[in-house]
Amino acid sequence: MSIVIEQLNYVYMSGGPYETKALSDINLTIGDGEFIGLIGHTGSGKSTLVQHLNGLLMPSSGRILVDGLDLADKATDRRAVRRRVGLVFQYPENQLFEETVEKDIAFGPKNLGLDENEIARRVKDAMRRVALDYDELHERSVFELSGGQMRRVAIAGVLAMEPQVLVLDEPCAGLDPRGREEILSLIRNLHKEAGTTIVMVSHSMDDVASLAERVIVMNHGEVVMDGAPRDVFSCGEELRGMGLDVPQAVMLAQKLREKGYDIPEGLYRTEEIMAEIMKIAGKEAQHA
Protein backbone atom coordinates (compact mmCIF):
# COMPACT_ATOMS: atom_id res chain seq x y z
CA MET A 1 0.00 0.00 0.00
CA SER A 2 1.42 3.36 -0.95
CA ILE A 3 0.62 6.95 -0.06
CA VAL A 4 0.94 9.47 -2.86
CA ILE A 5 1.02 13.19 -2.07
CA GLU A 6 0.48 15.49 -5.04
CA GLN A 7 0.97 19.26 -5.05
CA LEU A 8 -0.10 19.49 -1.43
CA ASN A 9 -0.59 22.97 0.02
CA TYR A 10 -1.94 23.79 3.43
CA VAL A 11 -2.75 27.21 4.87
CA TYR A 12 -3.60 27.78 8.55
CA MET A 13 -6.18 30.43 9.44
CA SER A 14 -6.84 31.11 5.80
CA GLY A 15 -8.01 34.66 5.07
CA GLY A 16 -7.32 35.91 8.61
CA PRO A 17 -4.58 38.26 9.81
CA TYR A 18 -2.45 35.32 10.98
CA GLU A 19 -2.71 33.40 7.73
CA THR A 20 0.28 31.07 7.57
CA LYS A 21 1.30 28.82 4.75
CA ALA A 22 2.32 25.64 6.53
CA LEU A 23 2.94 23.39 3.54
CA SER A 24 3.75 24.36 0.01
CA ASP A 25 3.79 22.16 -3.08
CA ILE A 26 4.65 18.89 -1.43
CA ASN A 27 5.07 15.93 -3.78
CA LEU A 28 6.00 12.62 -2.19
CA THR A 29 5.37 8.93 -2.62
CA ILE A 30 5.61 6.74 0.45
CA GLY A 31 6.12 3.20 -0.78
CA ASP A 32 5.05 -0.04 0.81
CA GLY A 33 7.37 -1.18 3.60
CA GLU A 34 9.57 1.93 3.66
CA PHE A 35 11.12 3.32 6.83
CA ILE A 36 11.16 7.08 6.53
CA GLY A 37 12.72 9.53 8.95
CA LEU A 38 11.08 12.94 8.70
CA ILE A 39 13.18 15.77 10.11
CA GLY A 40 13.01 19.54 10.28
CA HIS A 41 13.13 22.20 12.99
CA THR A 42 10.03 23.22 14.96
CA GLY A 43 7.55 24.93 12.65
CA SER A 44 8.96 23.37 9.48
CA GLY A 45 5.65 21.65 8.73
CA LYS A 46 6.43 18.05 9.74
CA SER A 47 3.49 17.60 12.09
CA THR A 48 1.13 19.36 9.67
CA LEU A 49 2.26 17.00 6.93
CA VAL A 50 1.77 13.81 8.92
CA GLN A 51 -1.72 14.88 9.96
CA HIS A 52 -2.63 14.86 6.28
CA LEU A 53 -1.60 11.25 5.87
CA ASN A 54 -4.78 9.90 7.40
CA GLY A 55 -7.13 12.75 6.68
CA LEU A 56 -6.99 14.56 10.04
CA LEU A 57 -6.21 17.69 8.07
CA MET A 58 -7.49 18.17 4.54
CA PRO A 59 -5.34 19.89 1.91
CA SER A 60 -6.01 23.53 1.04
CA SER A 61 -5.08 22.36 -2.46
CA GLY A 62 -3.56 19.25 -3.99
CA ARG A 63 -4.45 15.74 -3.02
CA ILE A 64 -3.47 12.68 -0.99
CA LEU A 65 -4.01 9.19 -2.35
CA VAL A 66 -3.91 6.37 0.18
CA ASP A 67 -3.79 3.07 -1.67
CA GLY A 68 -5.27 4.89 -4.64
CA LEU A 69 -8.13 6.43 -2.67
CA ASP A 70 -8.40 10.21 -2.72
CA LEU A 71 -8.99 11.40 0.86
CA ALA A 72 -10.89 14.48 -0.31
CA ASP A 73 -13.29 12.39 -2.38
CA LYS A 74 -16.65 12.18 -0.64
CA ALA A 75 -16.99 8.57 -1.74
CA THR A 76 -13.82 7.62 0.17
CA ASP A 77 -14.45 6.03 3.54
CA ARG A 78 -12.08 8.10 5.65
CA ARG A 79 -12.56 5.89 8.66
CA ALA A 80 -11.34 2.93 6.64
CA VAL A 81 -8.28 4.95 5.66
CA ARG A 82 -7.57 5.80 9.30
CA ARG A 83 -7.55 2.09 10.04
CA ARG A 84 -4.78 1.62 7.50
CA VAL A 85 -2.74 4.64 8.50
CA GLY A 86 -2.20 4.77 12.24
CA LEU A 87 -1.02 8.05 13.71
CA VAL A 88 0.80 8.22 17.06
CA PHE A 89 0.83 11.82 18.25
CA GLN A 90 3.46 13.57 20.33
CA TYR A 91 3.12 12.64 24.00
CA PRO A 92 0.40 10.09 23.13
CA GLU A 93 0.12 9.02 26.77
CA ASN A 94 -1.80 12.26 27.41
CA GLN A 95 -4.66 10.66 25.51
CA LEU A 96 -4.98 7.59 27.69
CA PHE A 97 -8.28 7.69 29.54
CA GLU A 98 -9.66 4.23 30.26
CA GLU A 99 -9.69 2.47 33.63
CA THR A 100 -7.38 -0.32 32.63
CA VAL A 101 -4.61 -0.97 30.14
CA GLU A 102 -6.73 -3.57 28.36
CA LYS A 103 -9.74 -1.27 28.00
CA ASP A 104 -7.64 1.54 26.68
CA ILE A 105 -6.02 -0.58 23.98
CA ALA A 106 -9.40 -2.17 23.13
CA PHE A 107 -11.09 1.20 22.62
CA GLY A 108 -10.29 1.49 18.91
CA PRO A 109 -11.07 -2.10 17.93
CA LYS A 110 -14.34 -1.92 19.90
CA ASN A 111 -15.39 1.11 17.88
CA LEU A 112 -14.73 -0.91 14.74
CA GLY A 113 -17.51 -3.21 15.91
CA LEU A 114 -15.26 -6.27 16.12
CA ASP A 115 -16.39 -9.25 18.19
CA GLU A 116 -15.04 -9.92 21.67
CA ASN A 117 -12.64 -12.66 20.62
CA GLU A 118 -11.09 -10.59 17.89
CA ILE A 119 -10.75 -7.62 20.24
CA ALA A 120 -9.06 -9.78 22.86
CA ARG A 121 -6.71 -11.21 20.24
CA ARG A 122 -5.77 -7.76 19.02
CA VAL A 123 -5.15 -6.41 22.50
CA LYS A 124 -2.86 -9.32 23.34
CA ASP A 125 -1.07 -9.07 20.04
CA ALA A 126 -0.57 -5.29 20.36
CA MET A 127 0.74 -5.66 23.92
CA ARG A 128 3.18 -8.32 22.79
CA ARG A 129 4.44 -6.04 20.04
CA VAL A 130 5.17 -3.22 22.45
CA ALA A 131 6.72 -5.64 24.97
CA LEU A 132 4.14 -5.17 27.70
CA ASP A 133 3.30 -8.32 29.66
CA TYR A 134 -0.41 -9.01 29.21
CA ASP A 135 -0.90 -11.13 32.31
CA GLU A 136 0.90 -8.70 34.54
CA LEU A 137 -0.49 -5.44 33.23
CA HIS A 138 -3.84 -5.80 31.46
CA GLU A 139 -5.92 -5.02 34.53
CA ARG A 140 -3.70 -2.26 35.84
CA SER A 141 -4.70 1.38 35.69
CA VAL A 142 -2.78 3.15 32.95
CA PHE A 143 -1.97 5.90 35.42
CA GLU A 144 0.04 3.55 37.63
CA LEU A 145 2.53 2.88 34.87
CA SER A 146 5.89 4.49 34.19
CA GLY A 147 6.17 7.13 31.47
CA GLY A 148 7.73 4.68 29.03
CA GLN A 149 5.05 2.07 29.73
CA MET A 150 2.24 4.60 29.27
CA ARG A 151 3.66 5.56 25.93
CA ARG A 152 3.80 1.92 24.88
CA VAL A 153 0.15 1.47 25.89
CA ALA A 154 -0.74 4.43 23.69
CA ILE A 155 1.20 2.96 20.77
CA ALA A 156 -0.45 -0.43 21.38
CA GLY A 157 -3.83 1.28 21.06
CA VAL A 158 -2.88 2.39 17.55
CA LEU A 159 -1.36 -1.00 16.68
CA ALA A 160 -4.58 -2.74 17.73
CA MET A 161 -6.18 -1.11 14.69
CA GLU A 162 -3.66 -3.15 12.67
CA PRO A 163 -2.53 -0.29 10.44
CA GLN A 164 -0.34 -0.94 7.40
CA VAL A 165 1.35 2.41 7.80
CA LEU A 166 2.43 3.70 11.20
CA VAL A 167 3.18 7.38 11.54
CA LEU A 168 4.91 8.42 14.76
CA ASP A 169 5.36 12.07 15.70
CA GLU A 170 8.42 12.25 17.95
CA PRO A 171 7.83 8.91 19.61
CA CYS A 172 10.78 9.28 22.02
CA ALA A 173 10.28 12.88 23.18
CA GLY A 174 10.76 13.28 26.92
CA LEU A 175 11.75 9.66 27.61
CA ASP A 176 14.90 8.61 29.41
CA PRO A 177 17.56 6.70 27.44
CA ARG A 178 16.22 3.29 28.44
CA GLY A 179 12.64 4.24 27.51
CA ARG A 180 13.91 5.67 24.25
CA GLU A 181 15.77 2.49 23.38
CA GLU A 182 12.65 0.42 24.16
CA ILE A 183 10.48 2.49 21.84
CA LEU A 184 13.07 2.52 19.07
CA SER A 185 13.55 -1.22 19.18
CA LEU A 186 9.82 -1.87 19.07
CA ILE A 187 9.51 0.38 16.02
CA ARG A 188 12.46 -1.43 14.43
CA ASN A 189 10.75 -4.79 15.03
CA LEU A 190 7.40 -3.64 13.66
CA HIS A 191 9.13 -2.67 10.47
CA LYS A 192 11.27 -5.79 10.24
CA GLU A 193 8.83 -8.45 11.36
CA ALA A 194 5.41 -7.15 10.43
CA GLY A 195 6.62 -5.21 7.41
CA THR A 196 4.76 -2.12 8.60
CA THR A 197 5.57 1.04 6.69
CA ILE A 198 7.01 3.55 9.17
CA VAL A 199 7.11 7.33 9.02
CA MET A 200 8.98 8.62 12.07
CA VAL A 201 9.17 12.31 12.85
CA SER A 202 12.20 12.97 15.02
CA HIS A 203 14.51 15.66 16.30
CA SER A 204 17.21 13.14 17.01
CA MET A 205 19.51 12.73 14.06
CA ASP A 206 21.20 9.81 15.79
CA ASP A 207 17.87 7.97 16.08
CA VAL A 208 17.05 8.67 12.44
CA ALA A 209 20.56 7.61 11.36
CA SER A 210 20.24 4.30 13.20
CA LEU A 211 16.80 3.37 11.83
CA ALA A 212 15.61 5.12 8.70
CA GLU A 213 16.23 3.92 5.15
CA ARG A 214 15.10 7.21 3.68
CA VAL A 215 15.33 10.69 5.17
CA ILE A 216 13.03 13.55 4.24
CA VAL A 217 14.01 17.03 5.41
CA MET A 218 11.45 19.82 5.70
CA ASN A 219 12.12 23.52 5.98
CA HIS A 220 9.57 26.38 5.84
CA GLY A 221 6.81 24.02 4.72
CA GLU A 222 8.75 22.54 1.84
CA VAL A 223 10.53 19.27 1.27
CA VAL A 224 14.14 20.37 0.79
CA MET A 225 15.95 17.03 0.85
CA ASP A 226 14.81 13.49 0.23
CA GLY A 227 17.22 10.61 -0.03
CA ALA A 228 19.25 7.88 1.61
CA PRO A 229 20.64 8.80 5.05
CA ARG A 230 24.21 8.81 3.75
CA ASP A 231 23.32 11.36 1.08
CA VAL A 232 21.25 13.60 3.35
CA PHE A 233 23.70 13.54 6.26
CA SER A 234 26.61 14.37 4.00
CA CYS A 235 25.03 17.84 3.60
CA GLY A 236 26.07 18.92 7.08
CA GLU A 237 26.34 22.62 6.28
CA GLU A 238 22.84 22.81 4.78
CA LEU A 239 21.33 20.89 7.68
CA ARG A 240 22.96 23.14 10.25
CA GLY A 241 21.74 26.13 8.29
CA MET A 242 18.21 24.84 8.82
CA GLY A 243 18.69 24.55 12.58
CA LEU A 244 19.33 20.81 12.45
CA ASP A 245 22.18 18.67 13.68
CA VAL A 246 24.03 15.92 11.96
CA PRO A 247 24.84 12.67 13.77
CA GLN A 248 28.10 13.00 15.72
CA ALA A 249 29.64 10.24 13.60
CA VAL A 250 29.13 12.45 10.53
CA MET A 251 30.76 15.42 12.27
CA LEU A 252 33.70 13.26 13.26
CA ALA A 253 34.16 11.95 9.69
CA GLN A 254 34.05 15.51 8.38
CA LYS A 255 36.65 16.80 10.84
CA LEU A 256 38.97 13.86 10.23
CA ARG A 257 38.74 14.54 6.51
CA GLU A 258 39.71 18.17 7.18
CA LYS A 259 42.79 16.85 9.02
CA GLY A 260 43.76 15.00 5.86
CA TYR A 261 42.55 11.50 6.72
CA ASP A 262 41.12 9.51 3.88
CA ILE A 263 37.58 8.87 5.17
CA PRO A 264 35.04 7.99 2.47
CA GLU A 265 32.10 10.37 1.96
CA GLY A 266 28.68 9.31 3.13
CA LEU A 267 29.57 7.50 6.35
CA TYR A 268 26.95 8.17 9.01
CA ARG A 269 26.84 5.24 11.40
CA THR A 270 29.13 4.97 14.42
CA GLU A 271 30.18 1.44 13.39
CA GLU A 272 31.28 2.68 9.97
CA ILE A 273 33.44 5.45 11.33
CA MET A 274 34.83 3.05 13.92
CA ALA A 275 35.94 0.73 11.14
CA GLU A 276 37.77 3.66 9.52
CA ILE A 277 39.55 4.59 12.74
CA MET A 278 40.51 0.93 13.17
CA LYS A 279 42.09 1.08 9.74
CA ILE A 280 44.05 4.20 10.69
CA ALA A 281 45.16 2.58 13.95
CA GLY A 282 45.78 -0.81 12.36
CA LYS A 283 47.96 0.57 9.62
CA GLU A 284 50.01 2.51 12.12
CA ALA A 285 50.30 -0.51 14.41
CA GLN A 286 52.03 -2.42 11.62
CA HIS A 287 54.66 0.31 11.37
CA ALA A 288 55.24 0.23 15.11
Is 284 an interacting residue with respect to another protein (CB under 8 A)?
yes
What's the rounded Cα separation, in Å, for the pair 132 and 113? 25
Long-range contacts of 175-182 (CB under 8 A, 24+ apart): 175/147, 175/148, 175/151, 176/147, 176/148, 178/148, 179/146, 179/147, 179/148, 179/151, 180/207, 182/131, 182/148, 182/152
Report, in Å, the least distance between residue 1 CB and another protein. Answer: 31
Q: How far is the CB of 267 from another protein (least distance, A)?
A: 12
Measured from the CB atom, the residue of 223 and 244 that comes closer to another protein is 244
Size of the site for another protein (CB under 8 A): 40
In 3-state terms, what secondary structure has residue 252? helix
Which 39-78 positions form the footprint of another protein (CB under 8 A)?
41-43
Asked if 127 interacts with another protein (CB under 8 A), we say no
Q: Which of 37, 44, 6, 53 is nearest to 23 (CA)?
A: 44
What is the contact mask toward another protein in residues 223 to 252, using x (rule: CB under 8 A)? --------------------xxx-xxx-xx
Q: Which of 206, 222, 231, 238 binds another protein (CB under 8 A)?
A: 206
Site for another protein in 90-119 (CB under 8 A): none
Closest CA to 209 of 231, 188, 189, 229: 229
CB of 251 to another protein, least distance (A): 5
Can residue 270 be called a binding residue for another protein (CB under 8 A)? yes
7-15, 95-103, 126-134, 144-152 -> range binding another protein (CB under 8 A): 144-152
- What lies within 8 Å, CB to CB, of 91 at 6+ separation is 173, 174
Question: Whats the size of the chain, residue-wise?
Answer: 288
Helix axes 270-287, 248-258, angle to 10 degrees: 40
Instruction: List interacting residues with another protein (CB under 8 A).
Output: 41-43, 146-148, 173-180, 203, 205-206, 243-245, 247-249, 251-252, 255-256, 259, 261, 270, 273-274, 277-278, 280-281, 284-285, 287-288
